[in-house]
Amino acid sequence: MEARKTSILVRFTPAPDVTTAQYDETISRLEKSGDWLPEGLAYHVAFKSGDQLRVSEIWDSRKRFDAFGERLMPDACCVTRTIVW
| Residue range 32-70, pLDDT digits in tens | 999 899 999 999 999 999 889 999 999 999 999 999 988
* 46, 53 contact by CB (below 8 A): yes
- Arithmetic mean of pLDDT, 73-84: 65
Q: Is residue 77 predicted with pLDDT exceeding 60? A: yes
pLDDT digits (tens, 9 = 90+) for 61-72: 999 999 998 888
Helices (H) and strands (E) in the chain, counts: 2, 3
What does the alpha-carbon distance between residue 10 and residue 44 come to, in Å, rounded to a whole number?
Answer: 9
Length of the chain: 85
What does the alpha-carbon distance between residue 45 and residue 8 come to, in Å, rounded to a whole number?
Answer: 14
Averaged pLDDT score across all residues of the chain: 86
- Within 10 angstroms of residue 80's Cβ, the number of other Cβ atoms is 19
pLDDT of residue 72: 83
